[in-house]
Amino acid sequence: MTSVEPSSSGQPFGSKVTVYVVACWIFAAFGGLMFGYDIGISGGVTSMDDFLKKFFPAIYERKLHAKENNYCKYDDQLLQLFTSSLYLAALVASFGASKACNVLGRKPTISLASVLFTLGAVVSGTAPNKVLLIIGRILFGIGVGFGNESVPLFLSEVAPMQHRGAVNILFQLFVTIGILIANLVNYAVSSIHPNGWRIALGLAGVPAIFLFMGSLIITETPSSLIERGKEIEGKEALKKIRGVDDVESELEQIKLACEISRQVKHPYKKLFKRASMPPLIIGISIQVFQQFTGINAIMFYAPVLFQTVGFKGNGSLLSAVITGVVNVLSTLVSIVAVDRIGRRKLLLQACVQMFISMVAIGSILLIHLKPTGSLDKGLAAVVVVLVCMFVMSFAWSWGPMGWLIPSETFPLETRTAGFAFAVSANMFFTFVIAQAFLSMLCNMRAYIFFFFALWILIMGLFVVFLLPETKGVPIDSMTERVWKKHPVWRKFMGKEVVKNYEMT
């Protein structure tokens, strides 16, 4: 497939999608599998009795005698903190990863991520005591921090502009596949006693090994090479990832971005200047909002909802498979749609669908689900459909866009630093929601769904008024073509520059 794309100056860039190019995209996307596998595996492992008996015997005892109802599931903050320690480690690590991306490049940072994650799998899977178990968890976290920082950036930088959305969303596609696989593994190992949990944690090494092998094959991104003064290698890399020899006009644009970038000695200082605020605010908000859609709460609560339909024993498996498959398939929709209809329309459509789903689930539960007892079968089936509608719309919008938009909106000089803030915002709010959700559910009951609906309304307004469209804009022309043009954000960019831009 050959295509031509316009540069910011209107000149076309040529590109061809070759086998090597596609291999680079897919290998890097294995970083998403690592992250997704971990999201899916943690909850399952920490609810396995063998695991609790070995590491958290007191919690196991309490769990045996805990009374549960539909809204107040047994909850242990310490156990939750153990699960969430990964997100805290990843939060801190993403800043180290940003430095590594700048100094070493994207490719070695991806290798490092896979090595750290593999170590995490080995240490966690073989842990004889709590200390090593926690060390394993932290290694996983650092691996996720390094992977989530470098992989989306890598994908956005190597993708030809007109396919950038689709290529970047391969990361999220692999996240969803990872979640699905992990849920199936959880189910399969839950009957293997006493070491099923070791298999589940150890298997996390598999995607990491794939990522490591892939990281040896992929090329470094041209921007990263040229920024570090390696112009000849940068040009060769550009030819490789474009599949054509004539890359001059795109090369010029990258060189210009690198020149500006090289003048910036302190990216973090620059990031807090007024002119850097627009992408920073957007990058962080989009990730915070992604978590406030309530996706992880819904996925977590889904097994309980599914059990009320009547699938008592298999409720968890069934919900994991149904929501997991819906999640994967709907992410494919966004791969096809994102570069055609754009980021904004997908996000807005999803806000409407998610809002309706949340309000409808909340209303049904509020009226019909008492703390004990269950829903009428017909209504429960409606709730299941609504959960799928919710997951579906998240999967083609806020899920992938949370990673895509922050990775493509920063200029090169603040890209890795700014993206680190977006990644850590995701990690922090995943942690906060995981930590608070069960107590919120217990106290707010069905109203929690209205709480998330309110957030969805706010994020819809945010998209309408503040989020610019980045579809079809070359990654190194965002400042000129996006930020300086936006009615709100242009005010941050400085008068003189806006004037110059208007003249061109």
Q: Out of 98, 102, 109, 327, which residue is the one contacting ligand BGC (CB under 6 A)?
A: 327
Phi, psi values for residue 71, rounded to 5°: -100, -30
Residue pair 152/11 in contact (Cβ under 8 Å)? The answer is: no
Q: Out of 84, 150, 176, 357, which residue is the one contacting ligand BGC (CB under 6 A)?
A: 176
Task: Compose the 374-413 pattern: x for residues touching ligand BGC by CB under 6 A, - for all others.
Answer: -------------------------x--x-----------
Q: Out of 150, 416, 426, 479, which residue is the one contacting ligand BGC (CB under 6 A)?
A: 426
In the complex, the smallest distance separating the C-beta of residue 463 from ligand BGC, rounded to whole angstroms, is 17
Binding segment (CB under 6 A) for ligand BGC, from list 8-16, 174-182, 208-216, 248-256 = 174-182
Residue with tokens 């700048």: 102
Binding segment (CB under 6 A) for ligand BGC, from list 252-260, 269-277, 290-298, 372-380 = 290-298
Residue 263 CB partners (closer than 8 Å, separation 6+)? 413
What whole-number distance in Å separates Cα of residue 65 and Cα of residue 468?
53
Helix (H, G, I), strand (E, B) or coil at 13: strand
The site that binds ligand BGC (CB under 6 A) totals a number of residues, namely 13
330 makes contact with ligand BGC (CB under 6 A): no
CB nearer to ligand BGC: give 175 or 354. 175
Instruction: Name the closest residue to ligand BGC (Cβ).
Output: 399
Residue of 72, 82, 83, 75 whose CA lies nearest to 43: 83
39 makes contact with ligand BGC (CB under 6 A): yes
Task: Tell me how far apart the terminal alpha carbons of the chain are, to the nearest angstrom.
Answer: 33
Binding segment (CB under 6 A) for ligand BGC, from list 41-49, 289-297, 340-348, 436-444 = 289-297
> Which residues within the stretch 79-118 sit at the binding site for ligand BGC (CB under 6 A)?
none
Residue pair 144/117 in contact (Cβ under 8 Å)? The answer is: yes
> Which residues within the stretch 119-148 sit at the binding site for ligand BGC (CB under 6 A)?
none
Binding segment (CB under 6 A) for ligand BGC, from list 6-14, 85-93, 170-178, 268-276 = 170-178
32 makes contact with ligand BGC (CB under 6 A): no
Measured in whole angstroms, the distance separating CA 404 from the mean position of its chain's CA atoms is 9
CB nearer to ligand BGC: give 171 or 483. 171
Helix (H, G, I), strand (E, B) or coil at 126: helix
172 makes contact with ligand BGC (CB under 6 A): yes
Residue with tokens 């590109």: 15
Residue of 159, 185, 188 whose CA lies nearest to 171: 159
CB nearer to ligand BGC: give 278 or 402. 402
What whole-number distance in Å separates Cα of residue 425 and Cα of residue 252?
34
Residue 68 has a CB neighbour count (10 Å cut-off) of 13
Residue of 173, 167, 232, 185 whose CA lies nearest to 24: 167
CB nearer to ligand BGC: give 162 or 430. 430
Given CA atoms 211, 215, 217, 219 in this order, what sign does their dihedral have? Answer: positive
Residue with tokens 């995209």: 25
156 makes contact with ligand BGC (CB under 6 A): no
Residue pair 360/379 in contact (Cβ under 8 Å)? The answer is: no
Binding segment (CB under 6 A) for ligand BGC, from list 104-112, 175-183, 224-232, 446-454 = 175-183
Q: Which residues contact ligand BGC (rule: CB under 6 A)?
A: 39, 172, 175-176, 179, 290, 295-296, 327, 399, 402, 426, 430
